[in-house]
Amino acid sequence: MIRAATVHDIPEIRAMIRELADYERAVEQARATEEQLREALFGERPAAYVLIAEDDGSGETAGFALWFPRFSTWTGTRGMHLEDLYVRPHARGAGHGRALLAALAAICTRSGYERFEWWVLAWNRPTIEFYTSLGVEFLDEWTVCRLSGGPLDELAATAPAVGERAPGSGRG
């Protein structure tokens, strides 16, 4: 069964985020607290949304998908960015990952989203093979960029005043 997460799922979502980070060899980077997740997912202005996969037989949480809307200047439409898709090791192979992706694809279709995009680690062969079986297109010509920590702060310190209604500008 696939369902929308509720605030009661936050401890389980956080646990799965840490499990995923451990699998991706970066558990020390998974610092989100339950309070941060509560605000981000269920606060006044949610930043992201979560679907939960439950095992039909046991009702146990088998996995989750965390996503948020994005916008394409080229198509002039919204799309979906899948931040995390995780199925617990003991539940893999039972169709939970495919069911989560199908539910997200249905949200895209209903919402008029033209693109459904996410990243996958280059070394994660089992997941890449799974995505290939679904007909996923891999965009090898793009490189992911990240600015964080000191370099982010340094660049931000050089910013001119923002006069428009931009997120974080203090207006709007």
**For a pLDDT cut of 90, what percent of the chain falls above it?**
84
What does the radius of gyration of the chain's CA atoms come to, in whole angstroms? 18
Closest listed residue to residue 34, CA positions, set 5, 55, 60: 5
Per-residue confidence (pLDDT) for residue 1, from 0 to 100: 94
Statement: residue 125 has pLDDT above 90: yes
65-85 tens-digit pLDDT = 999 999 999 999 999 999 999
- CA 99 to chain CA centroid, nearest Å: 16
Which residues are identified as catalytic?
131
Tokens 């996410």 — which residue? 118
The DSSP letter of residue 137 is P
CA distances from 132 to 96, 126, 128 (A): 16, 10, 6
Per-residue pLDDT reduced to its tens digit, 26-70: 999 999 999 999 999 999 999 999 999 999 889 899 999 999 999
Cα distances (Å, whole numbers) of residue 167 to 29, 37, 76: 25, 19, 20
Could you give the CA distance from residue 80 to residue 82 in angstroms, rounded to a whole number? 6
Predicted confidence (pLDDT) at residue 105 exceeds the cutoff of 90: yes
